[in-house]
């Protein structure tokens, strides 16, 4: 390299090489939810700042309390959810509801829903979209298990994945099986977090 090329390298390429994974997430991941993963969702494979996919609920906002009706203290039915901004190349959606605050290793999975049609705009209360498939919760049963924290306020993550394929899994699939099957197929994702604590 000559002196001019050295200067260009230092200004453009070197920062990209030296940037840490944590810094990368700080500067980029927080600004986009269009991310494909291989293996763990913490390993970023692709980012597109034009992502617009969103998941929300008409009964609670992000980082707000989940109504008692949708917990073990109420009717224990799934809350209504709304989906928007799914990319046209998406072949299916996957939803995983997980409590990372649970006092067991790896947290507690409350709901997994696979092969949701990409044109789905809502998941109704106490219902699942046609042709979708529920996997197992950490209780070892397929279906929805509402929040039921032993103590304190827990954070329940509703993570919606857009995939470029359909998953060939049945109702015996656990969260780890679903995550393994999604490797290399995630187009984008969106997250909604609900809170819940029990009056014990």
- Give pLDDT tens digits for 136-152: 999 999 999 999 999 89
Which residues are within 8 A (CB) of 199 and not within 5 positions of it... i.e. 6 or more apart?
none
pLDDT tens digits, 4-21: 544 444 444 433 333 333
Of 78, 25, 85, 79, residue with least CA distance to 55: 85
Domain extents for the chain? 1-31, 34-196
pLDDT confidence of residue 89: 93
Architecture label for domain 34-196: Alpha-Beta Complex (3.90)
pTM: 0.76
Is 50's pLDDT higher than 50?
A: yes
């Amino acid at each position: 390299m000559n002196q001019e090329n050295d200067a260009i390298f230092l200004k453009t390429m070197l920062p990209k090489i030296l940037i840490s994974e944590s810094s990368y997430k700080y500067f980029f991941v927080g600004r986009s939810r269009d991310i494909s993963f291989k293996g763990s969702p913490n390993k970023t494979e692709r980012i597109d700042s034009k992502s617009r996919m969103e998941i929300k609920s008409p009964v609670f906002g992000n980082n707000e309390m989940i109504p008692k009706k949708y917990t073990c203290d109420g009717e224990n039915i799934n809350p209504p959810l709304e989906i928007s901004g799914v990319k046209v190349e998406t072949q299916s959606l996957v939803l995983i509801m997980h409590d990372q605050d649970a006092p067991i290793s790896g947290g507690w999975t409350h709901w997994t829903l696979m092969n949701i049609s990409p044109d789905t705009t809502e998941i109704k209360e106490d219902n699942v979209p046609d042709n979708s498939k529920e996997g197992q919760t950490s209780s070892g049963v397929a279906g929805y298990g509402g929040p039921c924290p032993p103590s304190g306020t827990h954070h329940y993550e509703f993570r919606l994945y857009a995939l470029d394929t359909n998953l060939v899994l049945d109702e015996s699939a656990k969260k780890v099986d679903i995550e393994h099957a999604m490797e290399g197929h995630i187009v984008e994702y969106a997250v909604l977090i609900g809170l819940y604590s029990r009056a014990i």
